[in-house]
Chains A and B, each alone.
Chain A
Amino acid sequence: MSQATLRIQKISGHAGSVAGEDTQRQSLVCKLVDTTTCIGCKACEVACVEWNDMPFSPTVFDNTYQTMPETRWNYWNLILFNEHEREDGSLQWLMRKHQCMHCAEPGCLEACPSDGAIVQYTNGIVDFQQANCIGCGYCITGCPFNIPKFNSVTKRVYKCSLCTDRVSEGLEPACIKSCPTGCLHFGTKEDMKDLAEQRAKQLKDHYGYANAGVYDPPGVGGTGVIYVLHDATKPELYGGLPSNPSIPLVVKLWKHPLKWLGNLAIAGGLIGLFVHFLRFGPKAREDEDISTAGGRP
C-alpha cells in the first residue's frame, strides 16, 4: 500500500502542527451516490467485504431487504432500504448506500484523544489508523452518522477507508467499481458536485421530482460522499440520513471552551498555590508542633 505517499492535513489527538497542512495542492476526492438509480443489488456490499478482506459476518433478517440493521466493524458498506408510502398511497422504495461520509470536519477526529489514530489526508479521506487506536470509543460519540464500529476482540474501531489503498494507486474504490447501474461515481469533489447538480436538475425538470436535490451537508463542512435524493427536503426517509448533521455540541464544548478553561484553571491554581506559599508559607513550622504543646495563637 502506498498510504505513505498520501499527505496528512489533520491528525487526531496531536500536539503541535501537522506537517502536511497546506503543503500540497491536491483535489478533494468524492463519491457520488445517486439514490434514484440504485437498485439495491448490494454488489457494493460484497465488493467492500471482498476487497478489504473481511471475515464472514452473519446477516440479520428484519422483514426488509436489508442485510443487517446497521454497519459493523467488518461490514463498512450497507444499503439501507425503506418502503416509503407517499401521500397518494403509492409505494416508493428508497435505497441508500450507507458508509462513512468522510466529512471535511470529522466529528470522530475531533473527539479522538489518541495521537494519530484518525487522520485526514489532503485529498479529504478520513482514515482510521488502528495501530494508534486506544479503543476509547470517543469517535463513536463524535460521529453524527453512526459509523465507527468497535471490535471487542482487538479493542479498536473500524470504518470505511474510502479504499485509501486503491485511491492512492489511482484506482476507484471497490464499491464504485462493482456498481452495475452506474449510480455510483468517483472523482474530484468539484466534478461530482457538478454531476450531482445536473442529475438533480434532470429529476426536477423531466421526472417530476420537484424537491430533488444534492445532499452535501454544510454542518460538517461538506462530505466526501454526496447523495442525489428524490426529495432532498426529507433526507431522514433514506435510512435516517440526518437533515442537518454536525459535530455534537457537547463534543465541541468539551474539546474547545471546557478544555481551555480547565487547563487555565489547573495552571492558574498551581501558580496561585505556589505564590500563596511564597507569600504566607506554612501555617506553623514543624519544630513548633513538637516543642509547644499549647500551640501558638
Chain B
Amino acid sequence: MTHPEQVALHHHVLRYNLHERLTHWVAAGSYLYLLATGLAFWSPWMFWLAVVLGGGQISRMLHPWAGLVFTGSVVYMYSMWSKQMRFTDVDREWWKSLRYYITNQDDKMPPAGRYNAGQKMLFWSFFIGGLVLLLSGLVLWFTDSLPWSLRWLRYIAVILHPIAALVTIGNFMIHIYMGVFAERGALGSVIRGDVSMAFAKRYHPGWYEEIIGSSDPPK
C-alpha cells in the first residue's frame, strides 16, 4: 500500500495514486449524472433535472449506460481496495465511539487505518448498492422484452432500484459532507493525491504509524 517513495517532501504523503483518483472521478461523474436523472424519474418535482440534461428521452437513454460506467468503476474499486476495506477489531471499536467522531473529539477515537469504519461502510454500501442497482436496472432497461409471465421480475426491480438508490444517496450525502466540509484536506487528497502528515496522523493514526514505520519520518 504505502511505500517509502510515496512519502513526499514538505510533510506530505501520497494518499491516492493517479489510478485511484481517476477511478474515483469516473465513479463520481457517472454517479452525479445517475443521481440527477434518477431523481428526475423519481419525483415530478425534480423532472426539470431531466429537461436541463437534454430532455426525458435522452436522460432515459443515457441513464443505463452511465449505470454501466458507474458499476464498472465500483467493481474496479473492489479489485483495488477490497482487502483494505475489511472490517477489523479497531473498526468495531471505532463504531462504538462514533459519537466522539460526530462531535469532533477525534482524540478519543481508536486509531483508524488507511480507511476508517465509516469509509468502509461507504465503500460497501456503494459496492453492494451498485450491484443491486445494476441487476434491477437491467430489468428496467429491457423491461419491454420481458414476457408477461416474468412480470414479477419487473415488480421486484421497480421497488429494489429506488430503495438501493436511496441507500447510496444517504451515504453519498455523508461522503460529500465529510470530504468537502468536515475533514479539510480530504477533497485535495483525491484531486492532488497527497495529504499532510498532520492529516494522516489526526484521521488515520494507524496508517500514519505504517508510513512512519516503513520510511524515514519526514522532516
Contacts and interface: CB of A to CB of B under 8 A. Distances in A.
Q: Do A and B associate with each other?
A: yes
Contacts of B183: 282-284
A289 B47 contact: no
B198 A273 contact: no
Given A14-B44, A15-B47, A284 B60 contact: no
A297 B105 CA distance: 8
Contacts of B43: 15, 259, 263
A254 B59 contact: no
B60 A269 contact: no
Interface in A96-137: 111, 113-115, 132-137
Interface size class of chain B, counting residues whose CB lies under 8 Å from the partner chain: 35 or more
B154 A292 contact: no
Given A13-B47, A15-B45, A282-B181, A152 B144 contact: yes
B173 A270 contact: yes
Nearest to B218: A293
B145 to A, nearest CB: 9
Contacts of A221: none
Contact of B59 (A134, A263, A282): A134
Contacts, number: 142
B56 to A, nearest CB: 4
B65 interface: no
B181 A269 contact: no
Contacts of A146: 148, 151
Nearest to A258: B162
A251 B57 contact: no
A281 B104 contact: yes
Contact of B104 (A155, A248, A283): A283
Contacts of B20: none
A289 B199 CA distance: 6
Interface string B193-208: 0011111011100000
B173 A140 contact: no
Interface size class of chain A, counting residues whose CB lies under 8 Å from the partner chain: 35 or more
Contact of A295 (B59, B155, B201): B201
B143 interface: yes
B107 interface: yes
Contact of B155 (A113, A132, A141, A269): A141
A137 to B, nearest CB: 4
A124 to B, nearest CB: 23
Interface of A: 13-15, 70, 111, 113-115, 132-138, 140-141, 146, 149-150, 152, 155, 248, 250-251, 253-254, 258-259, 262-263, 265-266, 269-270, 273, 276-277, 280-286, 288-290, 292-297
12 contacts: A13-B44, A113-B47, A132-B56, A155-B60, A258-B166, A259-B162, A265-B170, A273-B173, A282-B181, A284-B198, A292-B198, A295-B198
